[in-house]
Amino acid sequence: MSPAVFRARDKRFPLDRVYVMGILNVTPDSFSDGGRYFGEDAAMARAVQMAQEGADIIDIGGQSTRPGYTPISPEEEWARIRAVLPRVIRETGRAVSVDTFYPWVAIRALEAGAHILNDVTGFSEAMFQAAAGSGCGCVVTFPRGGAGADVCTAAHRFFLDRLEMARRSGIDGEQLCFDPGIGFGKTMDENLRLLARVDRTRVPGTAFLMAASRKRVTGFPCGDPPFAERLPATLAAHTAAILGGADLVRVHDVKEGVQAAQMALALRQAKE
């Protein structure tokens, strides 16, 4: 039997291996690397480096969504990424994701060639309508907390609801990738449960992304080191998620993330 597939326009990701999504924040204020790649030349240099290090997908964000962030307008968000996006597609050859919750930005990103839309607010009807007909991949985040010990069940139910919403817009399951939303409105215990119990959260036949890189959950158990010193904890968190069945991980540190993902996949396959 052929493996399930995550499909994003002309890019196909068979779900019999693990894929690494590299983070490219074209922002002045992201929680970990704000300002480092805020500029076309710096962003392009980083995108090329991530591709060389083995990133399968490059995720471009023009707006910080860190805790307490101040939203910017769709026009300003698009102004930050519109020159970078087509260059990253052209010069890296990788699948390119755009991190946005604005349908207006999503439409323009797709017109510019983006393969994936990554909406940390969980995809509204308007976002699915923006994606409809394009064949793009959709990363759908569970953006809420408050369920406590039942957070995995709550996330799973949310994903099933979004699966039906997507289908009403003509988007099938192969285009969906679900993200449990580590750090978005959740307690530390909820974040840890989601990392540890991918099997209780994922929807069979669809892709599953874990995105814990450098987040608060990777600092709390380790004495709260600075963001830049959370690589070991990030690798541990993502390894646990991959062993539990995650198909993709979203990372700041691509070279290390790729190597860890390869090892974790080998261990997962050895259990089968």
Identified catalytic residue from 94, 162, 197, 215: 215
User: Do residues 99 and 121 make contact, with C-beta atoms less than 8 angstroms apart?
Assistant: no
- In order of 5, 19, 130, 174, the CA distances from 13 in angstroms are 5, 8, 22, 10
Identified catalytic residue from 250, 255, 268, 271: 250
Q: 46 catalytic, yes or no?
A: no
- In order of 30, 81, 132, 185, 217, the CA distances from 225 in angstroms are 17, 31, 42, 21, 11
Q: Which two tokens stand for residue 178?
A: 């679900």
N- to C-terminal Cα separation, the chain: 15
Q: 215 catalytic, yes or no?
A: yes
- Amino acid (one-letter) located at 225: P
- What are the phi and psi torsion angles at 139 (to 5°)? -90, 115
Q: Which positions ≥6 away from 61 have C-beta within 8 Å?
A: 23, 24, 25, 26, 27, 30, 81, 98, 99, 100
Active site residues: 215, 250
